[in-house]
């Protein structure tokens, strides 16, 4: 690391003379960290200073922000970036130029011009050093952006894995996850644009489009994620987010039809985002006071980021330029880590809870299946015993009678009303084990499910078919001060339906307010 840090590259910040073209009496001496006033769009700003640094292989690196550029050493033009037929508006430029051998004691002039009012008067950033050291210098200073890009990529992969592993997620949860993935992706794209070595892979216009679009979309994705997390004050926050989305759509339409330039649109959105950060802080405080878990955990970070964000824009409005610390990217990166951490914790806890619930359900199903098998064996033995005592052959009528007597007692223990009417021929053969298991499964469902309080079943034989019909009602309890009625079951009894289909039977279920009717037809 010490070897990497040893570079002869420096940024030329001081000892500049600034001249506004056509205002030869207007000389300004100073640094490049402040915006120059009285520079209008399409007016040239000239920066000049004498090059005294002695270098073997001198290289100049110049960065401009949506400005055309011309560079002179003495009277010689060594670089020009101007409008062409393909590119009529300037973008984000970083260019590397080798200085001529006789550069020393020569006057370096950097001339910038822009059609945008906001970017007029912003001095270019100029670096000078040995050619062998320039790449090392910018790689070293781009390590934070490299780290942020790696974190974004890792988080996106983890969120996609969790999204894939997460079972039966709600629509709201799915949209929240997708918005968070989109937010993380946009932060990663902006880190690429601001990463000097990686940004050289793109042209100035492409860098401009990527940077401006991410600058516009990142706050929109973030506030929409916040909106989905709000509960009590969601309708209030919806006004702010709705205005932001409307402004985004309207602005993009104006850009498409050519009525608005993308760099100008960014400044409009930046001004509105100052309001949204403060509005979001107020909503975060209100939600956390109402014990919203997301805001209770994340509101300190959200509020701190909002105030630092506002302070950053106040600096820009006050005339600051070429700020070396990109606070918005740092803040969005911090919020990304904070929100992703909460998101991971919620998803992992949901998956664990779901797996525990599934294991308990599977265990319950195994116990129920074992009970049903035991009951089936018992009913068969009792039927054979009853048939031997009466001198008959075991038949379906005797078995159903045993089943009816057993469940009459069991329903009485549960304080439930139970009625079962049988109309089966005495000479009917006993059903196969699969269909008998289906009948026991049906009775067990009504017995163990607390939602059913009244069960009326009829089993009758018509030709070569056994028809089971039932009317059931929701269970109702009365107390001294209130009446609580259980909700009508919302499930469609998939297990019973699947069992009927396996038995090649017909299944019909119908909900009528608090009454439920079903009909099962089995072949004898």
- What is the distance between the alpha carbons of residues 202 and 92, in angstroms, rounded to a whole number? 10
Query: Hey, what are 85's tokens?
Result: 């037929």
pLDDT tens sequence for the chain (524 residues) = 455 555 678 888 888 888 887 665 556 777 777 788 788 888 888 999 988 888 888 899 999 989 999 999 988 999 999 888 888 889 999 889 998 888 888 899 999 999 988 888 889 999 998 888 888 888 888 888 899 999 999 999 999 999 888 887 788 889 999 999 999 999 999 998 888 888 788 888 999 999 999 999 999 999 999 999 999 999 999 999 999 999 999 999 998 888 888 888 888 888 888 889 989 999 999 999 999 999 999 999 999 988 888 888 777 776 677 666 778 888 999 999 999 999 999 989 988 888 888 888 888 888 878 888 888 888 888 888 877 887 777 777 788 888 888 888 888 887 778 888 888 777 676 767 777 777 888 888 778 777 777 788 888 888 777 788 877 765 544 443 333 333 334 344 666 666 666 666 666 666 665 667 777 877 76
Query: Going by C-beta distance under 8 Å and a sequence separation of 6 or more, which residues neighbour residue 334?
Result: 301, 305
Query: Hey, what are 129's tokens?
Result: 């050093």
Q: Looking at residue 216, what is its pLDDT?
A: 93
Reported pTM: 0.77
Q: Looking at residue 62, what is its pLDDT?
A: 92
C-beta separation of 270 from 328 below 8 A = no
What is the DSSP code string of 335-373?
HHHHHHHHHHHHHHHHHHHHHHHHHHHHHHHHHHHHHHH
- What is the four-CA torsion angle of 486, 488, 490, 496, rounded to 10 degrees? 100
- 3-state SS of 252-317 is HHHHHCCCCCHHHHHHHHHHHHHHHHHHHHHHHHHHHHCCCHHHHHHHHHHHHHHHHHHHHHHHHH
- What is the distance between the alpha carbons of residues 99 and 131, in angstroms, rounded to a whole number? 10
Query: Hey, what are 189's tokens?
Result: 């794209």
- What is the distance between the alpha carbons of residues 42 and 336, in angstroms, rounded to a whole number? 39
Q: Which residues of 88-111 are buried (b: 16+ CB within 10 A; e: fewer)?
A: ebbbbbbeeeebeeebeebebbbb
Tell me which residue of 361, 396, 332, 343 sits closest to 188, measured CA to CA.
332
- 3-state SS of 47-82 is EEEECCCCCCCEEEEEEEECCEEEEEECCEEEEEEC
Q: Looking at residue 418, what is its pLDDT?
A: 80
- What is the distance between the alpha carbons of residues 63 and 417, in angstroms, rounded to a whole number? 84
């Amino acid at each position: 690391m010490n070897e990497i840090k040893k570079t002869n590259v420096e940024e030329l910040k001081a000892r500049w003379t600034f001249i506004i073209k056509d205002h030869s009496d207007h000389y300004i001496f100073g640094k490049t960290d402040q915006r120059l006033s009285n520079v209008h769009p399409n007016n040239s700003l000239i920066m000049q200073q004498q090059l005294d640094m002695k270098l073997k292989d001198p290289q100049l690196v110049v960065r401009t922000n949506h400005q055309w550029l011309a560079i002179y050493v003495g009277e010689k033009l060594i670089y020009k970036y101007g409008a062409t037929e393909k590119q009529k508006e300037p973008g984000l430029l970083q260019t590397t130029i080798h200085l001529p051998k006789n550069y020393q004691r020569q006057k370096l002039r950097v001339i910038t011009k822009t059609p945008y009012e906001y970017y007029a008067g912003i001095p270019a950033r100029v670096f000078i050093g040995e050619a062998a050291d320039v790449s090392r210098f910018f790689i070293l200073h781009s390590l934070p952006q490299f780290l942020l890009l790696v974190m974004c990529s890792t988080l996106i992969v983890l969120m996609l894995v969790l999204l894939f592993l997460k079972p039966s997620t709600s629509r709201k949860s799915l949209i929240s996850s997708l918005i968070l993935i989109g937010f993380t992706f946009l932060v990663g794209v902006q880190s690429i644009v601001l990463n000097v070595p990686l940004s050289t892979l793109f042209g100035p216009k492409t860098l401009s489009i990527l940077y401006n679009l991410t600058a516009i979309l990142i706050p929109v994705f973030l506030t929409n994620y916040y909106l989905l997390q709000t509960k009590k004050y969601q309708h209030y926050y919806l006004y702010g987010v709705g205005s932001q989305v409307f402004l985004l759509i309207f602005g993009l339409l104006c850009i498409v039809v050519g009525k608005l330039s993308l760099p100008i649109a960014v400044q409009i959105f930046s001004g509105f985002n100052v309001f949204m950060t403060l509005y979001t802080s107020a909503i975060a405080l209100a939600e956390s006071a109402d014990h919203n878990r997301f805001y209770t955990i994340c509101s300190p970070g959200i509020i701190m980021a909002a105030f630092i964000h506002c302070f950053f824009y106040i600096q820009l409005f006050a005339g600051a330029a070429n700020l070396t610390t990109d606070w918005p990217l740092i803040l969005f990166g911090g919020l990304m880590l904070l929100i992703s951490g909460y998101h991971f914790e919620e998803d992992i806890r949901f998956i664990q809870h779901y797996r525990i619930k599934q294991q308990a359900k599977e265990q319950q199903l195994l116990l129920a299946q074992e009970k049903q098998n035991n009951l089936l064996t018992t009913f068969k033995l009792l039927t054979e015993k009853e048939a031997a005592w009466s001198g008959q052959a075991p038949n379906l009528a005797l078995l159903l009678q045993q089943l009816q007597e057993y469940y009459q007692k069991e329903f009485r223990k549960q304080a439930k009303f139970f009625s079962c009417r049988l109309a089966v021929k005495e000479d009917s053969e006993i059903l196969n084990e699969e269909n008998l298991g289906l009948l026991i499964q049906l009775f067990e469902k009504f017995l163990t499910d607390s939602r059913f309080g009244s069960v009326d079943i009829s089993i009758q034989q018509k030709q070569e078919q056994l028809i089971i019909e039932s009317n059931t009602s929701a269970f109702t309890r009365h107390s001294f001060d209130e009446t609580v009625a259980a909700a009508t079951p919302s499930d469609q009894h998939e297990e019973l339906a699947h069992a009927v289909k396996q038995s090649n039977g017909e299944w019909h279920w119908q909900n009528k307010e608090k009454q439920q009717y079903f009909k099962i037809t089995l072949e004898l």
